[in-house]
Structure 1
């Protein structure tokens, strides 16, 4: 029987995480499932609330020294799983309720067919109209810059082979969905309905969404460099033959190129390989 690890990054949102774990337990039958929470240097202490669970095998928490954001917490958790745990599949999952536990069954079914990578492609979202519009533009910007249509987030099901491949370079340190798209362009998928947050408003601001789009695109920086180079050349030619005003667009293209180089520095295998040094402790909350 296949062994699953559900990997949940969290920063302070403990109430949601413990509710999520209880809801995950309700969706299990005979699957072997361990929960691994990556505590991304939360400033708030948690009050354990795991009453009523009976199907989950264990719940553990990796406590990190320094906050690095969800993408680095997931990368650190994947490396910890690879180095220390036995598993067949890892399922990264946001802890706020937006990744619905009801869809785990579909992941399990795909795993039974030995799919290497399965992502949750969102076909319905629970946010307001403004966020849906912004998210649409996020997908379009990512498509224009990278040439890839990325329609999924962290919620996915990764085989041991896939985890090893994702950890073979630094792309996952920069962007989880970008790294998956890079290494597994023809991966399997399920249709996902984005659930409502259990508690509190979304923490995804417009600025974070823009950086998220850029990080995905920078994973494909070779393609991006070519596109920016063509823009700079084109604007320079237009400035020479038509109007010096095109030099302003040429300047913005250079600034964007510098930004891409800056963000691309996070595509760093050494940082990924040394991420275990950021682990402060391991807490075991539940075991049966």
Structure 2
């Protein structure tokens, strides 16, 4: 009987947790040959998420592990924490807002049993997203796959099934600034794909603002490609060549006595153009330098305040607290 770990990062989701467990209970009843472990990662919630998790009716014959982070570290860090503590033969990250349907899990398990080590869930339709989000998401995937390696599949999020060997490979990667979609693709393994239509969020509001999504995209591009640095160098070389040709032409015209009185507007335009390119190049270099700086500190990806476990029914379970109040275990360490 295989153990399936469901990893769920949460931030202020007190209303969504009971609905999520209700849907998962129905899914579990369709899978009597599998045991389930739920690993919830509380990413600095300020509402009653922890209280709800410790008292909610979870599905029968399942274990609940609650990782309480010391503050909000972000979804990528929370997902890392969940993968570090999931002990299942297969691990499935999923959002608690039910936009990714738990009912797809049996189909993913069928592909896993058939021999696939990764089963990704691809959004066949993004109709639940706004027009702007659909266009920017398409632009990101197209840009990333053109300049970065490895390619990441279009319209595939964190919702996927991973075999234990895949999770162990990801945990050995030492990055602190993590772009999990890229890391999932980087490790490879035999991959199957199942399509689904993504629904609307059932409760609460999204925690990703436009600014956070922009920075998330930058992490994805700079974490897996040096093409922006190369483009800055090529652009500088081309402009230097054009400047040399322009300067030579001015010298030739001066020697022939055909040069006009220098114009203020044209000179100012050239100065501003070159200055803007220099600042752009410095900004690109700064992105990579900042990543190297953050990695050089070797701080842990997350800090645990507490670990709580429930293995029996609510009325019989005692909440067991972890021995260490601050778990500084790095994600690259052994389970």
TM-score higher than 0.5: yes
In 2 relative to 1, CA 185–109 (structure 1 residues): closer, same or farther, beyond 3 Å? Answer: closer
Partner in structure 2 of residue 189 of structure 1: 193
Partner in structure 2 of residue 112 of structure 1: 113
- C-alpha contact 1:34 1:56 (8 A) present in aligned 2: no
TM-score when normalising by structure 2: 0.74
- C-alpha contact 2:15 2:204 (8 A) present in aligned 1: no
- C-alpha contact 1:11 1:39 (8 A) present in aligned 2: yes
In 2 relative to 1, CA 239–58 (structure 1 residues): closer, same or farther, beyond 3 Å? Answer: farther
In 2 relative to 1, CA 103–136 (structure 1 residues): closer, same or farther, beyond 3 Å? Answer: same
Q: Secondary structure at the match of 1:259?
A: helix
Output the CA distance in 1 between the equivalents of 2:193 and 2:293.
30
With 203-212 and 256-265 compared, the bigger mean Cα shift is at 256-265
Partner in structure 1 of residue 316 of structure 2: none
Output the CA distance in 2 between the equivalents of 1:98 and 1:236.
51
In 2 relative to 1, CA 191–138 (structure 1 residues): closer, same or farther, beyond 3 Å? Answer: same
How do residues 105-254 of structure 1 correspond to structure 2 at under 5 angstroms? 105-125=106-126, 126-146=128-148, 148-151=151-154, 152-171=156-175, 173-184=177-188, 187-241=191-245, 245-246=273-274, 248-254=276-282
Q: Indicate yes or no: 2:27 matched with 1:27.
A: yes
In 2 relative to 1, CA 186–233 (structure 1 residues): closer, same or farther, beyond 3 Å? Answer: farther
TM-score when normalising by structure 1: 0.85
Partner in structure 2 of residue 44 of structure 1: 47
Unaligned runs of 5+ in 1: none
Partner in structure 1 of residue 7 of structure 2: 7
Partner in structure 2 of residue 280 of structure 1: 305
Output the CA distance in 2 between the equivalents of 1:13 and 1:208.
19
Q: Indicate yes or no: 2:288 matched with 1:260.
A: yes
Output the CA distance in 1 between the equivalents of 2:198 and 2:27.
17
Aligned CA RMSD, in angstroms, stands at 2.7
- C-alpha contact 1:119 1:187 (8 A) present in aligned 2: yes
In 2 relative to 1, CA 249–56 (structure 1 residues): closer, same or farther, beyond 3 Å? Answer: farther
Cα deviation digits, residues 158-192 of structure 1 (max 9, x gap): 11111111122234741100111222186332213
Aligned length: 280
Cα deviation digits, residues 222-275 of structure 1 (max 9, x gap): 45543443344334434444566355324312312212332455567944xx44
Q: Secondary structure at the match of 2:71?
A: coil
Deviation at residue 207 of structure 1 after TM alignment: 1.5
Deviation at residue 63 of structure 1 after TM alignment: 0.6
In 2 relative to 1, CA 285–117 (structure 1 residues): closer, same or farther, beyond 3 Å? Answer: same
Q: Secondary structure at the match of 2:56?
A: coil
Q: Secondary structure at the match of 1:177?
A: helix
- C-alpha contact 1:22 1:50 (8 A) present in aligned 2: no
Partner in structure 2 of residue 60 of structure 1: 65
In 2 relative to 1, CA 275–249 (structure 1 residues): closer, same or farther, beyond 3 Å? Answer: closer
